[in-house]
């Protein structure tokens, strides 16, 4: 009791850092803009059998339908109500997805857009995804209901009412982010409406939330909402389990709002991770992989147990949000696979894999003028199903990075080495590096412009291992390169700088 009181003061009695994934499942995947029916199938046919712990889904609540430009992906970040209909599906389909995914041990994490409603220019009428009436000008959202009293207009001190200066903390939190109507989260009524929405999802069986635009809310307001949340549904989670919370706080340094301001509520997204890793793998600014030896807190990142990490996200893969040009995406597939491989092998942070759709990228003066284009869709605007090809890749312009052999096998690698220490680092002072995870796994990269041929200590038991990057172990044979570890743990690695994938990864479950 006394201890809990003390802990309560520093905020750890409530805060939820544990992802609630099943034991031995250490990553989630963001199935950006996927339909609920496709996610349910993917949980059963692919994610569960390959050890994925969960899925971050696109916002499930009612949003405005934007027609100029035509149904951009970002319309889903403009809520109209907390009813569960969206381009991804209706409430019945949502419930079916959560049940079926949970039943195979893959949990659902909801992207919760609770900082704001639609933009000031969204108009009025019933052009929202469940058909609810709203009026952006009068700030009337009867389907919640919210009215003009429930927004921050009076509090905001910027000239336009929008955020104009990220160095002014109150502006960032009390004014409108890109003109989105900013909810007055200090009001108990508003907090209760938001908590009601989140509790409804918890009852259905979700395991946690990405808190969108958390930077634009006062940490204490977020906490007041979280304090109203229920424990997870005991049909799938142990009694007393709290929803996993990861807050979207963009902190690349240089602004007064810090990721650490939000530790009391849960984890935060570490945006420095993808920005820096992209810079290193691209070899920009004199960076080299040898410098990754102290990757993690040593690079100024938040503590590992407070971090949600990713190579790219739905914003910065198309120039939104933050990270800049260094961010690696599926468009640079060779370097991207190395970056994701490095992330999944390294113990730092809780990892999220991105799964994208392809869009007609078109650069004008260095900016992608098609950065708004929504998911693959039919002529009536409905989202196309995720087609699965005979070779297990996806069709219909769904990229499915999570199904790329190299990435899928590294998700498994991370599960196999879970709990093992970062060990046996080796580098050539340039871009050839290697490291292990105790006695369970080892990975080697050659990002130099010359061939690699080294003998290094792996820490693994003697034997012949199958490289899970160039192939994988199928029954008792290896479809890729084989690596021989001798009795003293040493092994020889040869990686051509022209290899399709210039890295090799082995682990004890891929021993022949
Ligand atoms: C759309 C239109 C707008 C229109 C609005 C309303 O594009 O023109 O005004 O509708 O009609 C998404 C889209 C938006 C879209 C919105 C609503 O990205 O384009 O607006 O839906 O439909 C900030 C926030 C961060 C946010 C990010 C995009 O802090 O929370 O912007 N991400 C989330 C979602 C995102 C969504 C929303 C929030 C809204 O993931 O998909 O928006 O729900 C600085 C700040 C960052 C700030 C960026 C971008 O970053 O630090 O906090 O992110 O600027 O404004 C260097 C700096 C770095 C800086 C960066 C960029 O890298 O180091 O700190 O430059 O300047």
- What's the pLDDT tens digit per position in 282-301? 999 999 999 999 999 999 99
Residue 15 lies in a domain: no
Domain termination site, one of 357, 382, 417: 417
> H/E element holding 7?
helix 2-10
The question of whether 270 is a catalytic residue gets the answer no
Mutation pick for ligand 1 pocket among 315, 316, 325, 371 (CB with most ligand atoms within 8 Å): 315
Note whether 407 and 367 are same-domain residues.
yes
Give distance in angstroms: CA of 417 to centre of ligand 1.
36
Q: What angle do CA 78, 264, 31 make, to 5 degrees?
A: 40
For residue 51, give the nearest of 79, 25, 17 by alpha carbon.
25
33 Cβ closer than 6 Å to some ligand 1 atom: no
For residue 25, give the nearest of 290, 434, 353 by alpha carbon.
353
pLDDT tens digit sequence for 14-70: 679 999 999 999 999 999 999 999 999 999 999 999 999 999 999 999 999 999 999
Position 87 scores a pLDDT of 97
C-alpha–C-alpha distance, residues 502 and 431, integer Å:
11
Domain termination site, one of 385, 417, 449: 417
Residue 287 lies in a domain: yes
* Domain CATH number, residue 83: 3.20.20.80
Note whether 259 and 289 are same-domain residues.
yes
4 band by pLDDT with thresholds 50, 70 and 90: very low
Residue 216 lies in a domain: yes
Mean pLDDT for the stretch of residues 97-101 = 99
pTM over 0.95, yes/no: yes
Note whether 348 and 454 are same-domain residues.
no
* Domain CATH number, residue 444: 2.60.40.1180
Note whether 52 and 103 are same-domain residues.
yes
Note whether 406 and 439 are same-domain residues.
no
Note whether 438 and 408 are same-domain residues.
no
Mean pLDDT for the stretch of residues 200-216 = 98
Residue 22 lies in a domain: no
Note whether 80 and 225 are same-domain residues.
yes
Q: Which burial class, exposed, middle or buried, applies to 206 when counting CB atoms under 10 A from its CB (0-12, 13-18, 19+)?
A: buried
C-alpha–C-alpha distance, residues 452 and 467, integer Å:
16
Phi-psi map region of 307: left, alpha, beta (phi>0 left; psi -120 to 50 alpha): beta
Residue 17 lies in a domain: no
Note whether 405 and 452 are same-domain residues.
no
Q: Contact 413/504 with Cβ under 8 angstroms?
A: no
121 Cβ closer than 6 Å to some ligand 1 atom: yes
Note whether 464 and 501 are same-domain residues.
yes
Residue identified by tokens 């750890």 is 12
For residue 246, give the nearest of 220, 277, 215 by alpha carbon.
215
C-alpha–C-alpha distance, residues 437 and 439, integer Å:
6
Residue 7 lies in a domain: no
Range of the domain at 481: 422-510
Note whether 309 and 255 are same-domain residues.
yes
Domain termination site, one of 368, 390, 417: 417
Annotated catalytic residue within 174, 182, 248, 251 = 248
Note whether 159 and 142 are same-domain residues.
yes
Quick check: 468 pLDDT over 70?
Answer: yes
pLDDT tens digit sequence for 405-432: 999 999 999 999 999 999 999 999 999 9
Using DSSP, how many helices (H) and how many strands (E) does the chain show?
A: 9, 24
Domains in the chain, number: 2
**How many residues would you count in the chain?**
512
180 Cβ closer than 6 Å to some ligand 1 atom: yes
The question of whether 68 is a catalytic residue gets the answer no
Note whether 406 and 496 are same-domain residues.
no
Give distance in angstroms: CA of 177 to centre of ligand 1.
7
Residue 205 lies in a domain: yes
């Amino acid at each position: 009791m006394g201890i809990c009181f003390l802990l309560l003061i520093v905020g750890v009695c409530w805060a939820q850092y544990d992802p609630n994934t099943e034991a031995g499942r250490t990553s989630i995947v963001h199935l950006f803009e996927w339909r609920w029916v496709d996610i349910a199938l993917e949980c059963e046919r692919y994610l569960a059998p390959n050890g994925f712990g969960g899925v971050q889904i696109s916002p499930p609540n009612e949003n405005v339908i934007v027609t100029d430009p035509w149904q951009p992906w970002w319309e889903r970040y403009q809520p109209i109500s907390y009813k569960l209909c969206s381009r991804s599906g209706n409430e019945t389909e949502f419930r079916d997805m959560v049940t079926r995914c949970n039943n195979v041990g893959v949990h659902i994490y909801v992207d919760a857009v609770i900082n704001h409603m639609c933009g000031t220019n969204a108009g009025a009428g019933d052009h929202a995804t469940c058909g609810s009436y709203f009026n952006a000008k009068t700030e009337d959202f009867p389907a919640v209901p919210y009215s003009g009293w429930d927004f921050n207009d009076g509090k905001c001190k910027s000239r336009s009412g929008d955020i104009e200066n990220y160095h002014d903390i109150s502006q960032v939190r009390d004014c409108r982010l890109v003109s989105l109507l900013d909810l007055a989260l200090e009001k108990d009524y508003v907090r209760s409406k938001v908590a009601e929405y989140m509790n409804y999802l918890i009852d259905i069986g979700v395991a946690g939330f990405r808190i969108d635009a958390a930077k634009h809310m006062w940490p204490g307001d977020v906490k007041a909402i979280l304090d109203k949340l229920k424990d997870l549904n005991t049909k799938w989670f142990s009694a007393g389990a709290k929803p996993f919370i990861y807050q979207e706080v963009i902190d690349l340094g240089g602004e007064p709002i810090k990721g650490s301001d939000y530790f009391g509520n849960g984890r935060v997204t570490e945006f420095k991770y993808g920005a820096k890793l992209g810079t290193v793998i691209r070899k920009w600014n004199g960076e080299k992989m040898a410098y990754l030896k102290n990757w993690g807190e040593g690079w100024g990142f938040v503590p590992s147990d407070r971090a949600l990490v990713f190579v790219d996200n739905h914003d910065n893969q198309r120039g939104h949000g933050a990270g800049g040009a260094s961010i690696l995406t599926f468009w640079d597939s060779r370097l991207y696979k190395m970056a994701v491989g490095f992330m999944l092998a390294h113990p730092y942070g809780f990892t999220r894999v991105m799964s994208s759709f392809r869009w007609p990228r078109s650069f004008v003066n260095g900016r992608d003028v098609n950065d708004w284009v929504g998911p693959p869709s039919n002529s009536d605007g409905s989202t196309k199903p995720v087609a699965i090809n005979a070779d297990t890749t996806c069709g219909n312009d769904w990229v499915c990075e999570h199904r790329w052999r190299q990435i899928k096998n590294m998700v498994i690698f991370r599960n196999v080495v879970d709990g093992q220490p970062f060990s046996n680092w080796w580098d050539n002072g340039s871009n050839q590096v290697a490291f292990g995870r105790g006695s369970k796994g080892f990975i080697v990269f050659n990002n130099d412009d010359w061939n690699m041929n080294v003998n290094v200590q792996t820490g693994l038991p003697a034997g012949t291992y199958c490289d899970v990057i160039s192939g994988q172990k199928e029954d008792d044979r290896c479809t890729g390169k084989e690596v021989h570890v001798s009795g003293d743990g040493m092994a020889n690695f040869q990686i051509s700088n022209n290899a399709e994938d210039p890295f090799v990864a082995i682990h004890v479950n891929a021993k022949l």
